[in-house]
Chains A and B, each alone.
Chain A
Amino acid sequence: MANITAGVASSHVPAIGAALDLGKTQEPYWAKVFAGYEFSKRWIAQQKPDVVFLVFNDHATAFSLDFIPTFAIGCAESFAPADEGWGARPVPVVQGHPELAAHIAQSLIQSEFDLTIVNKMDVDHGLTVPMSLMFGQPQAWPCKVIPFAVNVVQYPPPSGKRCYQLGKALREAITSFDQDLNVQVWGTGGMSHQIQGPRAGLINKEFDTNFLNQLVNDPETLSLKPHIDYVREAGAEGIELVMWLIMRGALEKQVKEVHRFYHIPASNTAVGHIILENPETN
């Protein structure tokens, strides 16, 4: 059976991808960001996940204002890196896992989470930057990926509670798939940041620290935090953090925190990164 072994959360700042693609990782400004992922790259090389279920938000790339799905699951064979206006990132094409994706879609919809099914989608920095941070710059990505896009472009995004509950249903869906697969669930985006209007540049370290602590130890309570608290205290774009709750909901109640990194800034954003392992099931 498929097994969820760990959860990873990470910011997905586009400038991090640009720094990597342009060979700036040794510059002091960027070296501090990449240093936080050195452990993670070693860790994931040992973990060798077969599939990553990657929760991200599309930044008006695959979805225009013509279609705004709240939850969309990528069921394609592969997903090309998107041209967001700068040209596409020079990263490998993302290979999907259509069989597992279809199984998850069916299971979640039957659990009353009404997903949108996507059979063609280019993936933007929201997905490819965390891949680069965790895997570096390989010729091909070492695992398959099921992209799961959450609307945080047009208000209202789904609530933290809905995301957390979806994570729990996701756990049932993945663990009922009858192939032996090592699956990780990733949540991306955040942490506190605002990139629009006169309040751009807002960072809230206290909010972020509390969020990380609660994510590990008391996700149930954290999931009840209303949108308005995120927008007011973590910035208009800090609302992306609800996506981390899908990852947390997919894990067991008690998890082992194996890595945490927090750094201000990358471009306009506080970078947060955490790795949580499920208890051994054997």
Chain B
Amino acid sequence: MPLEKPYANIPGTTVFDADQSRKGYHLNMFAFSLMKAPNRERFKANERAYLDEWPMTEEQKQAVLARNFNRMIELGGNIYFLAKIFATDGKSFQYAAALMTGMSQEDYLQMMINGGRPEGLKKLSGAQHG
């Protein structure tokens, strides 16, 4: 019997469940490894070579190289793990969130100061998907 997923229809949202976790195990464990400074150095020196040390899929590696966080999430990435990637780049959660919504960081910052996503709980329209 498949897992029950009452959260599957929430727009613009991927819930990190057991299926995603299984799919993203190596991607997330790669990101986790970046919490050690020497690993960050090696990754920055040659991203592709570092990624090739991990049994990730080619799609996952490409998404990392392109810093396409929506795609990484689709491929099993979890945001708290992926945070180690943008932290390694010296970027903040707000930078990454803006990127995932397809907005400039300035526009995103202003949207948050104005009280957050204006369409609230209504269905998203026109947002970038991957």
A231 touches B93 (CB 8 A): no
Given A65-B28, A199-B12, are A267 and B83 neighbors across the interface (CB < 8 Å)? no
Q: Does B80 contact A (CB under 8 A)?
A: yes
Task: List A residues at the B interface (Cβ < 8 Å).
Answer: 14-15, 18, 29, 59-61, 64-66, 82-87, 153-156, 192, 194-205, 227-228, 231-233, 236-237, 264-265, 267-268, 270
Given A60-B28, A83-B37, are A201 and B93 neighbors across the interface (CB < 8 Å)? no
The answer, among A14, A86, A264, A268, for a CB contact under 8 Å with B97, is: A268
Q: Does B14 contact A (CB under 8 A)?
A: yes
Q: A199-B117, A202-B116, A203-B116 are in contact. List 4 more A-B contacts (CB 8 A).
A: A60-B28, A64-B81, A196-B79, A200-B98
B29 touches A268 (CB 8 A): no
A232 to B112 alpha-carbon distance, docked (Å): 19
A265 touches B6 (CB 8 A): no
* A215 CB, nearest partner CB in chain B, Å: 21
Task: Mark each residue of chain B from 57 to 81: 1 if its CB lies under 8 Å from any CB of chain A, else 0.
Answer: 0000000000001100100001111
A265 touches B116 (CB 8 A): yes
Nearest-CB residue, chain B, relative to A265: B112
Q: What total of A-B pairs shows CB separation below 8 Å?
A: 155
Task: List B residues at the A interface (Cβ < 8 Å).
Answer: 6-7, 10-18, 21, 25, 28-29, 31-32, 34-37, 40, 69-70, 73, 78-81, 83-85, 87-88, 90, 92-94, 96-98, 100-102, 108, 111-113, 115-117, 120-121, 124, 127-129
* B19 CB, nearest partner CB in chain A, Å: 10
B88 touches A155 (CB 8 A): no
Which residues of A are found within 8 Å of B100, using beta-carbon distances? 196-198, 200
* B43 CB, nearest partner CB in chain A, Å: 11
A203 to B116 alpha-carbon distance, docked (Å): 5
